[in-house]
Amino acid sequence: MSKNIAYGLGILLVALMLYLGLVTNSHQENIAGVLPGKEAPNFKLKTIEGKEVSLEDYRGKVVLVNFWATWCPPCREEMPLFERVYRTYRNKGFEVLAVSTDSSLDPVKKFVKEYKLSFTVLFDDRNITSLYGIQGLPTSFLINREGKVVKVRLGEYKEIEKDLKQIL
């Protein structure tokens, strides 16, 4: 196998692993276009029920904005954790905005029903994914009450509860 082919296959494998959330990066805050310490860009999207909401509507609360898809195994894995954490901390000012990047709404509605998700699920028109510089799924942004990003996470966000306790 030539060096060029091996190099190309290596790059393809790393890109695929990043896309699936299987590789983490010690500099995760540099993966996405939105960096910790910066204000999270406002956006408006519709819920899966058709109601328009904006990130600005949640100012004064701690918000987890999670980009995900129903076909993404790590995304599916973290949703029950997000639901548990949401139910535990919602009365303390915590909200979850799960931004689906699926190509159609039907699998998202089915997924929400199957997993009994009670937090807000939004459907992206691809503009918000681009605005946030999403390079792989899942990608999460933890935003404080002032609207500033405090954590960016590519891949499963298993430490959400620990990070949340520090800023609530």
Q: Which residues are catalytic?
A: 75
Q: Residue 143 class from Cβ within 10 Å (0-12 exposed, 13-18 middle, 19+ buried)?
A: buried
Longest CA span, the chain: 59
CA 161, chain centre distance (Å): 15
Residue type, 160: I
- Cis ω for the linkage preceding 138 (within 30 of 0): yes
* CA 51/CA 108 separation, integer angstroms: 15
CA 162, chain centre distance (Å): 17
